[in-house]
Structure 1
Amino acid sequence: MPETLQLWMRHETRPSEHRAALSPRDAGRLVGHGVRLTVEDSPQRVFPLAEYVAAGCSTAPPGSWATDCPVEYYVLGLKELPPAPARLRHRHLMFGHAYRGQPGAPALLRRFADGGGALLDLESLVDDDGRRIAAFGRWAGYAGATLAVLRHRGALTAPLTRSTRAELDLRLRPPHRAGDGASALVIGADGRCGAGACEALRTAGIEPTRWTGPGTGAVDRSAVLAHDILVNAIGTAVPVAPFLTEDDLDDPGRRLSVVCDVTCDVGTDRNALPVYDRVTDWNRPVRRLRARPRPLDLIAIDNLPSLLAAEASRAYSAALWPHLLRLGEGSAVWDRCRREYRSALAAVGQR
């Protein structure tokens, strides 16, 4: 590296966010390559701060990036930033959800423009074929399908709590080894997210119907309604025909009783499930969409992988850390992120 790379991993402010963009093991690898890495303490992070200290990282109090972090550092996180400071002067690596017209995107981009910082949205960290280099998709799909099965069985309790793959597998298996005769449809089954959903369903004894990502043509919604469980795992950059409409929910022949929208594109023109207007959360993971002709429940949680924080974080970190080494160099991956940021600024009238 021509210059010493400086990273500051911040505490996540959302109480249900237990993940970390870097595991202690991979943080140690970065330190071994000469990276200066500061890790904020975080009471809910799945990895203890002591493990980062043992890996050679410096430490800082929660949220201190806003006041104490030198501007030369890249600030690394996952989910939303707190409302203050209003002007963002650092370069942030995070899932900003701000480049495709999502709710709140203009306000977030203006904060960066006003402060002179930049957003390198981890959603835009893709290879030459447009495929995500580091993603939480498998674990999002696994967690979402697990919650859908548990809800279908009447076994989902709230609030949700952090778990492990082994613990969720136990909840999926006994005493329902035969799968209760339930049927499930996974849309987008050919992607990471869909593969994780299929894993969970098979663990539960349910062989899912697998649909790959549909195009913009008509969707056989009668086939969707004929399943007990729907898991939407499709990610798309363009609008698609809706998988369900309000009229479908009132169909007297509807068998469908649980919908899990892992994608959570609500509020955008890419929302393939325009039958709800807000996500659910860990405290209230389920929202009832219809009581008749039979109950129909929705699960739409936008940080599902946090349920499996250790597994999800280790997998994500392993894919991300080698690319962090090239943040300050000429890198096609990061150059694409920077171009996306400039285009998003221009779209909201900022420079």
Structure 2
Amino acid sequence: MGKLKFGIIKEGKIPVDKRVPLTPKKCVEALQEFPEMEIVVQPSDIRCFTDAEYRELHIPMQEDLNDCDVLMGVKEVPIDQLIPNKTYMFFSHTIKKQPHNAKLLRAILDKNITLLDYETLKSADGQRVVAFGRYAGIVGAYNGILTYGKKHKLFDLKPAYLCHEMEDMQEEYFKVKLPPIKIAVTGGGRVAGGAMEVLDKMGIRKVSVFDYLYKQFTEPVYAQLHSGDYNARPDVEVWDSPDFYANPHLYKSTFRKFTKVTDLLLACAYWDPRAPKLFTEEETRKPDFRIDTIADITCDVDGSIPTTKSATTITNPAYDYNPETGVVEPPYSRADNITIMAVDNLPCELPRNASRDFGRLLIDNVFPHFFNGDAEGMLARATIARDGKLTERFSYLEDYANSATNNKEKQETV
């Protein structure tokens, strides 16, 4: 078997993303682990790791990537930068038929590109093997605490994006002095795990769901809430997780009991649009609705958190939701408002750490399949397009991809 050449592309999407799929040290590690592998890096002035850092470890820099077998990025590649007949790996944000990327998928098919999406790389039992979720949780929880402290004029933390590394952010933890509030963390995956890492390191104690609901504390505490803690099927008495994930539309939210005792909500749970929302806008107007700060870390606009009216940016991370009017207002403008943090690209705030984590997952969980003939079929299952066509698993995207052509024809006709 000959060498397989991987090229790390310069991110072209605007706004810029500073993350990389492989850091300089992870490149070295990958090359040691897989002797049949070659890696070259396209020069970039926007990466969180400089060209010099790659050169120091003797990773070749190469502007023209036409001789590469696999091209790797993070975000969507601009259509005019796609090289025909190549294999690409990046987050394409197409599998949910995101309207703004129909043209991208159409171009990938037209240019005969093989596309593997990181989001579709899964183990045989359906678990994702690479993601930035942990760092979404880490930054999201930090931003949630920062927002709560700012709202109540308790402390001012340095924003995560102004910290060079996570270690610098952790230096800010000592400033956190919270009253005996209750913090709810929803979810059981990587995102929730990252959020709880931050709370634990800040010295905030985890308590059981029962104690969270029914006991008073003299210190700040948090509880991790799973789907069964705040959803119920009216016609079934016993919680059944597989049934909930198969039939979320048959369930009702029971989150109301948590809105009466929670001060800060860190929303980290994946939400199926068929599932009930955690609460309603009407419920936010009830006198016993206690939540006044929400970090919507999953950032589903008008999703599980109905007060998330729009995503926010890294530099302007928060806004207020006025429960009385249902209108969005400037952040921290009124004590009775609910302050929402809904940054939709949280891992970008700690790009160096997030990139290291991501590279680790690639080396452990993805690269082996390129050199063992894809024995488990992981790469095949993750392939959205090949030979100018959608693969069978993703054939449901055909109308979506064709919509870009149809829209173009309509515009030309007009």
Q: Which bracket does the TM-score occupy, shorter chain normalised?
A: 0.7 to 0.9
Q: Which of these residues, 173, 191, 200, is aligned with residue 198 of structure 2?
A: 200
Q: Which residue of 2 aligns with 1:36?
A: 38
Query: 1:327 aligned to 2:356?
Result: no
Q: Which residue of 2 aligns with 1:92?
A: 88
Q: Structure 1: which amino acid aligns with 2:367?
A: L
Q: Deviation digits for residues 265-320 of structure 1, max 9, x if unmatched?
A: 338xxx32343343111121112222658121222222212222222221221120
Distance 1:91 1:252 in 2: 56
Distance 2:83 2:285 in 1: 47
Cα separation, partners in 2 of 1:262 and 1:7, compared to 1, 3 Å: same
Q: Secondary structure at the match of 2:136?
A: helix
Q: Indicate the RMSD between aligned Cα atoms, in angstroms.
A: 2.8
Q: Structure 2: which amino acid aligns with 1:239?
A: R
> Does the 8 A contact of 1:244 with 1:275 survive in 2?
no
Distance 2:116 2:381 in 1: 9
Q: Structure 2: which amino acid aligns with 1:161?
A: L
Q: Secondary structure at the match of 1:127?
A: coil
Cα separation, partners in 2 of 1:259 and 1:239, compared to 1, 3 Å: same
Cα separation, partners in 2 of 1:161 and 1:273, compared to 1, 3 Å: same
Unaligned runs of 5+ in 2: 151-155, 205-219, 229-243, 325-334, 403-414
Distance 2:84 2:280 in 1: 40
TM-score (norm 2): 0.73
Alignment of 1:43-122 (within 5 A): 43-61=45-63, 68-70=64-66, 72-85=68-81, 89-122=85-118
Query: 1:222 aligned to 2:272?
Result: no
Q: Deviation digits for residues 181-232 of structure 1, max 9, x if unmatched?
A: 22211110x2121111112123333431211245422222323423121111
Q: Which of these residues, 127, 133, 140, is aligned with residue 144 of structure 1?
A: 140
Distance 2:116 2:284 in 1: 39
Q: Which residue of 2 aligns with 1:348?
A: 398
Distance 1:339 1:86 in 2: 16
| Count of residue correspondences | 338
Q: Secondary structure at the match of 1:288?
A: strand
Q: Secondary structure at the match of 1:168?
A: helix
TM-score (norm 1): 0.85
Distance 1:250 1:16 in 2: 39
Cα separation, partners in 2 of 1:91 and 1:246, compared to 1, 3 Å: farther
Cα separation, partners in 2 of 1:56 and 1:34, compared to 1, 3 Å: farther
Unaligned runs of 5+ in 1: 62-67
Q: Which residue of 1 aligns with 2:317?
A: 285
Cα separation, partners in 2 of 1:133 and 1:175, compared to 1, 3 Å: closer
Distance 1:86 1:76 in 2: 12
Q: Which of these residues, 305, 327, 338, is aligned with residue 347 of structure 2?
A: 305
> Does the 8 A contact of 1:17 with 1:303 survive in 2?
no
Cα separation, partners in 2 of 1:182 and 1:82, compared to 1, 3 Å: farther
Q: Max radius of gyration: which structure?
A: 2
Cα separation, partners in 2 of 1:80 and 1:261, compared to 1, 3 Å: farther
Q: Which residue of 2 aligns with 1:294?
A: 336
Q: Secondary structure at the match of 2:179?
A: helix
Cα separation, partners in 2 of 1:314 and 1:275, compared to 1, 3 Å: same
* Identity across the alignment (%): 23
Distance 1:106 1:266 in 2: 20
Q: Which residue of 2 aligns with 1:65?
A: none
Distance 1:310 1:238 in 2: 33
Q: Structure 1: which amino acid aligns with 2:142?
A: T
Distance 2:158 2:320 in 1: 15
Q: Which residue of 1 aligns with 2:412?
A: none
Q: Which residue of 2 aligns with 1:6?
A: 5
> Does the 8 A contact of 1:164 with 1:307 survive in 2?
no
Q: Secondary structure at the match of 2:41?
A: strand
